[in-house]
Each structure stands twice: as structure tokens, then as C-alpha cells.
Amino acid sequence: MNPKYKETLAEVDYMIRGLENEYKEKIPKKLLSFIQKNKANWYDDSKIDIENLNQETYAIMSFLYRKFLATDDEKLELETEYLRKLSAEKQDNIENRKIDYGFVTSTNYKSKEYVTIIPYEEKKWYTKLLEKIIKRYKKMN
């Protein structure tokens, strides 16, 4: 596993250890075990600065919150907010769509391109045998 992801898992483990027991129990044991097994053991906890966490740490912690720690009302609110942002982004993309047709010009576009098939001829069995004998002879000398 990539060392950066191991450090991220070490940061996530540090954050989980800071949670109260009632929240820790909501996270599946299998996931906690995965984090424990794959985290960077060389990563010093005192080195972790809450202000400067990896982006991946924020992503994993937000996933854990949405999936396991949030109440049903909070999950509904988060889903509604996500759909609202997605809709606004989609609308913005539609309104600001700029299509660049510059990639299809007469200088770089070929209307017809001919491709031929090159037949592959396999060597005859006696040629293969002779090559193997020569190769072994060279290894012996």
C-alpha cells in the first residue's frame, strides 16, 4: 500500500481513538481492523496536526460520519444538501457549456485512414528446436 495512504489511515485511527465509545461502537469492527492493520506504524501521533490533515483523511472521516455516525435526520439533511449542490452544479454546467470544436480541423483530421493486417507467421518446430540448442550451447561456453 502507498505510504501516503498508510499515513492517512494513521490519521484516521488517531481521530477514531479520540471519539467517545458510543461512536466507536457504531463503526464496524472489520473496518476498524482494516485501519489498524494497514496504518503506518512509523507515523508519530504527536506529529498529527488537526489543522493540517490530509485531504484523504477528511474524505474517510466524512464517509465514516455519513455512513455510521450520523443520525437518520442528519443523513437525510446531508443527502438533501448533496442533491441540492449536485443540481446547482449541473445547472451551472448547462448554462456555461462551451464546446470547443478546434480539435477537428482540416489539418489534423484524416477522413480516411487505411489499416492493413500484417500476418503473423509462427516459426516451424525444427527452427525453434535449433534455436534452443544454440542458446544452450552458448550458455555452456
pLDDT 10s digits, 31-42 = 999 999 998 888
pLDDT at 64: 92
> What is the dihedral sign for C-alpha 92, 94, 95, 98?
positive
Q: What is the pTM of this model?
A: 0.58
Q: Are 8 and 56 in contact (CB under 8 A)?
A: yes
Q: If we measure between CA atoms, which residue out of 93, 92, 89 comes closest to residue 81?
A: 89
Q: Are 31 and 79 in contact (CB under 8 A)?
A: no
What average pLDDT does range 17-32 have in this prediction?
A: 92
| Residue 47 DSSP label | G
Q: How far apart are CA 141 and CA 115, in angstroms?
A: 46
Decide if pLDDT at 7 tops 80.
yes
Contacts of 118 (CB under 8 A, 6+ apart): none
pLDDT at 80: 92
Question: For the segment 74-123, what is each residue's pLDDT rounded down to a tens digit?
Answer: 999 989 998 999 888 888 877 777 555 555 555 555 556 667 777 778 88
